[in-house]
Amino acid sequence: MSARTLFRTCCFAVAALATTAVAQAASATLAWDASIEPGIAGYRVEYGTQPGYYTAAVDVGNRTTAQILNLTNGSPYYFVVRAYNTSRVVGEPSVEISTRVGVAAAVAGDFSGDYMSDITVFRPSNGTWYIKHSNGRTTGVAWGEQRRHPGPR
Ligand SMILES: [Ca+2]
């Protein structure tokens, strides 16, 4: 075997994402399975905004979770984890994972795309759904009307 030690970190995953407020930095919480190699001393998370190109690294010590802070809201990020041993030899990277941080999940009943639910009322007398948007605007949508869809856009 060559001098280069080949050990891998497996089963890498983004466990959770946090922060949805615009103008605040986002974060990503990562978790992975421990390396099965002997003598593992810790892990290093490497990440960047382009696949395969990691511009930052964080040594998280001998833990299998990490929260990466101060990420740019709405930006995609790509992560790998490398284990290192007690001789500070760094192993091969894990499989790359990616996520877009700080983007809120879809909200039920949001017709305007602002991540806040909108109130809807159906008026049977004219077959129209009226939507009071979270921004205060009201629109009506009649079933069967061409080019109008009572759903998120
Ligand atoms: Ca809305």
Distinct helix (H) and strand (E) counts, the chain: 0, 10
- Ligand 1 centroid vs 49 CA: distance in angstroms? 30
b/e per residue, 14-36, with b = 16+ CB within 10 A? beebebeeeeeebbbebebeebe
- Ligand 1 centroid vs 149 CA: distance in angstroms? 15
- Ligand 1 centroid vs 70 CA: distance in angstroms? 28
> Which pLDDT value is given to residue 149?
58
**Range 72-81 average pLDDT:** 88
- Ligand 1 centroid vs 152 CA: distance in angstroms? 9
> Is residue 5 very low, low, confident or very high in pLDDT (cuts 50, 70, 90)?
very low
Taking the CA of residue 46 as centre, how many other CA atoms within 13 Å lie in the half-sphere pointing to its CB?
19
- Ligand 1 centroid vs 79 CA: distance in angstroms? 33
pLDDT, tens only, 87-99: 888 888 888 888 8
- Ligand 1 centroid vs 121 CA: distance in angstroms? 14
**Range 57-79 average pLDDT:** 90
> Is residue 11 very low, low, confident or very high in pLDDT (cuts 50, 70, 90)?
very low
**Cβ-Cβ contacts under 8 Å for 113 (sequence gap 6 or more):** 152, 153
Taking the CA of residue 150 as centre, how many other CA atoms within 13 Å lie in the half-sphere pointing to its CB?
19
Q: Are 99 and 77 in contact (CB under 8 A)?
A: yes
> Which pLDDT value is given to residue 63?
93
**Range 69-93 average pLDDT:** 88
Taking the complete model, does pTM exceed 0.85, yes or no?
no
> Which pLDDT value is given to residue 141?
81
Of 10-19, 23-32, 140-149, minimum mean pLDDT range: 10-19
Q: Could you tell me the sign of the dihedral formed by the alpha carbons of 97, 98, 103, 109, in that order?
A: negative
